[in-house]
Structures are given as structure tokens and as C-alpha cells.
Structure 1
Amino acid sequence: MRTIVIADIHGQFQTFKKLMKKINFNEEQDRLILLGDYIDRGEESLEVLEYVHFLKQHGAVVLGGNHENMFLNWLDYPNETRRAVHYFQNGGGTTIRSLLGDIEMDAVPQKLIEEKYTKLLEMIRGMDNYYETDEAIYVHAGVDPDKKDFRTTSEEDFRWIREKFWTGGNTTGKHIFFGHTPTGILRRQYGEDMQDFSPFTLSCGTRTAIDGGAAFGEQLNAVILENGDMSWEAVKVKE
């Protein structure tokens, strides 16, 4: 059985579908693990969420990311300007337009979304922070390297952590697969080619970044684990 790991789709539904076709995904034979950030920046967040909901119903592991957190903060605190500004600065407007289209100026978008997308919101609110197997840990952003037990990492760190996770030790005894930070940016941190957005295994050999920068028009990656080997496929957003 193959394990297929995809991160940071960010509303790029057509790219997501092309990637699933390219890897010949078979729900009866493959285990699919999605690492969060399904929404924002891309124009087709609704289509991505509906497809992710379908995949979850058919056995996919669906984890949450920081963009799902920002969306829920905007949704649950409609009167807090700070949360709204933060969300829209990070591409939230594309998600609202995808969910509601053009709405009346006096409408309350949060209320409309709550009424219209009950099942999708239930899925988003129920997303786990990590998934663990005997060999690996799958997470959106990373784990707190200072925790003796990585499972006690805060939700904020599971979904937002960056440098502290990259530079800290990995005492879990397992390989960690994560998204959140485009691999080109990570490569720059290590003095490598920042134009390369393919999956990137850090120098420790036990942490692999998957985010291909689809949110910024780069590519969507799928890491494929099978019989102890790791390979990958990708689709360019602009193809």
C-alpha cells in the first residue's frame, strides 16, 4: 500500500485534481494524508473543501493548518477587526468570494457561511493537528522540539511553528512530514536553490517539507511512500 502525502493546496482545485490523476490515486489501495491549508489565496477554495470532504468520507486523513485556524477565527469573532484584517491580509478574501460569490453589502458573511456550509464547517472544526504511525509523524507546520512528548505541542505550534522546529532536534524517533513553509524558502535558509519547490528533506534526514508553494503560483507536491522508499510527483499551478 502506498502512503500519499499532500500539503498546502490553497484553493488550487484544478491543480489538485491534476495531481491526483497524475499519481493514479486509488482510494481502495492508497492511504491519503492531507496536511492542511486547503483554503485562501487560490480562487477555488470551495471546490477544494468539497473534494477534501469527499476524500475524508472515503478514508483520507485530513489535518488542519493555520489557514483553517485563521478562517475559524474570522468566522467565530465577526466583530473583531483585528482578526478580520489578519485573515484578509493572508488571502482570506478569495475564500469568502469562493464560498459566497457577490453578496449584498449589508449581509453578514459569517452568518451566511454558517447557514450554508454546515457539513464543511463541521469537517474544518474537527480537523486533527497531527497523524502518527509506527514510522512517521504527519503535521501541518511541525512540532515543538523542546517537548519531551511531541504530542503535547500546542495547537498553535502544530499549525504555525517555523524556525524553532527546523533548527531544533528531532527526538521523536520518527520521520516528520510537514507543510506550511514553501520548500523554496526552506532551501534558501540552507543556502540552496530557492527556485526549487520540490519536496525537501532537511540535513538531519528525518524531516521532509512538502509545501510546493502552490499558494504563490508554484507547484503542488505529493510525497509517495511505498515499501520503505520515498518518491514524489508534482504539478505546476500554471500548467
Structure 2
Amino acid sequence: MKRILVISDIHGEIEKFEQLLEEAQYDAKQDQLILLGDYVDRGPNARAVIEKVRELKEEGALILKGNHEDMMIKALTTNEERSWNHWVKRNGGDKTLYSYGFVEEDIAVNEKDFQKPILHSRVLEEHIKFIQELDHYIETEEYIFVHAGVEPMKRVSESEPYTLMWIRNEFHNGYSGEKVVVFGHTETKTLHGSEECGVYFGSNRIIGIDGGAVYGGQLNCLELPSKKVYVIKN
């Protein structure tokens, strides 16, 4: 039986990500790797993480979209001032753009007369196309893998993509389904109600794995079905 290895919320932390794959002794021929989203923003090298994720997908990894990819796509493919500012100024999108070689002047905007900057990057364009095609969830006989969670009273297949990338408390407190839901998005120390960054095993068959690596926590990898956990700490 193949091991399932699940990682989420890498946020540009390419070194930790590669160290974690090594720590878990990931072998594409023997294991099924599942990544739950949030590869970009806030951390040092989103571009390198996306490149690595693309390579892993070609080797058979299953790749999901997170809310930070959602914000990135909206900011870069529309002319909405709100989407741009929300991503770049509030959610670390500036760090992502810096990783593609842009500098502060390239992404600056006139707040009185908003015009989205024109950003020329073939690599960024390729990465946008890659991200746009990612799925929002994976469902097996035993598990649901998703970035943020599921709507408690709906089948995952009936949930809105936005919800699967953004939901929090309603899912954490209200889920009572038969399948185990493995998710990221919300730092596990919030779920634990303490400074504990380890994987959260909820009593209602939810497993949170976002260790808040980009905030000084740790990057977690959950192995299934054993529930063994591999960790790279800051």
C-alpha cells in the first residue's frame, strides 16, 4: 500500500519544503504526495516553490489550490484595485512578485488614480496558467483533502470553490461527516488553542496540518494511514 504524504501552506519556504521531503524520504515511485495549497506569499521564494511543485506534479503528486493562489490569480488577471491591494499590501503578494525579479518600483501604484502595473515575465505567465488549472479538493473512500475545509452540511462536490479555499470556524466546529478531512489554511496553534504547531487531530475527524512555517512555526508532513508526522522547525 502506498504511503500518502500531505503538506500544506509552504508560503515560499523552498528550503524547508525540500528538507521536509527529504526528512519524509519521499519517493515518487512508492508514495502519493498531496499538496494542499498556499505555495506563494509572505515567504522568500514563491517562484522556486511553484517550480518545485510543477516538477512534483509531473512525477505524480496531486496539487490543490489555496486561498493565496486564489488571491494571486484575481490580482494578476483582473484590473480590480481591491484585488491588487488585498494581495500585494495585505497578504504578502509583494514578496511573491519580488521572487520573480520585480522590485518595489515595478509594483507601486498611484492610490488616487489606480492602474495595475504591467508586469512582463514569461515564467510568471506560465505559473499563472499552472495555478489556474489546479483542483480544489481530492476525495477518496476514506479521506477528503482540501485547503481550508468543507461546508458541514454539504457534499464536498457541491461546495463552492471559494468555500473550500477560505472556510474556517464553521467547518472546524460543525463538521460531522464520516470521512476524515485533511486540511491546511488555519494554523494548528489556533486549532490547539496554544503555541503548539504540531498536527491537530480533531475529535470530529478533521486533521489540520498548517504549522505556520512562514510565521516562525514549523512545516508539517502528515503520513497516512499511519498518522506519523515529519517536521522541519524554524
From 181, 185, 188, give the equivalent of 2:186.
Answer: 181
TM-aligned CA deviation for residue 154 of structure 1:
0.6
Quick one: distance in 2 between partners of 1:218 and 1:161? 22
Quick one: distance in 2 between partners of 1:135 and 1:6? 18
Quick one: distance in 1 between partners of 2:22 and 2:40? 21
Give per-residue Cα distances to partners, 1:16-60, cap 9 Å, x unaligned: 011111111101000000000000000110110000000001100
Preserved contact between residue 220 and residue 231 of structure 2 (Cα < 8 Å): yes
Who is 1:229 aligned against? 226
Preserved contact between residue 130 and residue 138 of structure 1 (Cα < 8 Å): yes
Residues matched between the structures, number: 225
User: Does the C-alpha gap of structure 1 residues 56 and 109 become closer, same or farther in structure 2, counting only changes over 3 Å?
Assistant: farther
Preserved contact between residue 75 and residue 110 of structure 1 (Cα < 8 Å): no
Quick one: distance in 2 between partners of 1:133 and 1:41? 32
Counterparts of 1:1-239 in structure 2, within 5 Å, are 1-78=2-79, 80-88=80-88, 89-102=90-103, 105=106, 111-113=119-121, 115-147=122-154, 149-171=155-177, 173-188=178-193, 194-204=194-204, 206-225=205-224, 228-236=225-233, 238=234
Preserved contact between residue 5 and residue 224 of structure 1 (Cα < 8 Å): yes
TM-aligned CA deviation for residue 106 of structure 1:
8.6
SS of the residue aligned with 1:198? coil
SS of the residue aligned with 2:197? coil
User: Does the C-alpha gap of structure 1 residues 170 and 106 become closer, same or farther in structure 2, counting only changes over 3 Å?
Assistant: closer
TM-aligned CA deviation for residue 203 of structure 1:
2.0
Quick one: distance in 2 between partners of 1:137 and 1:8? 17
Give per-residue Cα distances to partners, 1:76-132, cap 9 Å, x unaligned: 123x2211111120111100100123376499755414x333432221001100011
SS of the residue aligned with 2:144? strand
Quick one: distance in 2 between partners of 1:211 and 1:27? 23
Preserved contact between residue 179 and residue 209 of structure 1 (Cα < 8 Å): yes
Structure 1: which amino acid aligns with 2:176? N
Structure 1: which amino acid aligns with 2:34? I
Preserved contact between residue 149 and residue 167 of structure 2 (Cα < 8 Å): yes
Structure 2: which amino acid aligns with 1:197? C
- TM (norm. structure 2) is 0.91
Percent of residue pairs identical: 37
Unaligned runs of 5+ residues in structure 1 are 189-193
SS of the residue aligned with 2:190? helix
- TM (norm. structure 1) is 0.89
Unaligned runs of 5+ residues in structure 2 are 109-115
Quick one: distance in 2 between partners of 1:217 and 1:21? 20
Quick one: distance in 1 between partners of 2:104 and 2:174? 46
Preserved contact between residue 7 and residue 37 of structure 1 (Cα < 8 Å): yes
Who is 1:191 aligned against? none
Give me the CA root mean square deviation.
1.7
Preserved contact between residue 106 and residue 119 of structure 2 (Cα < 8 Å): no
Quick one: distance in 1 between partners of 2:107 and 2:99? 18
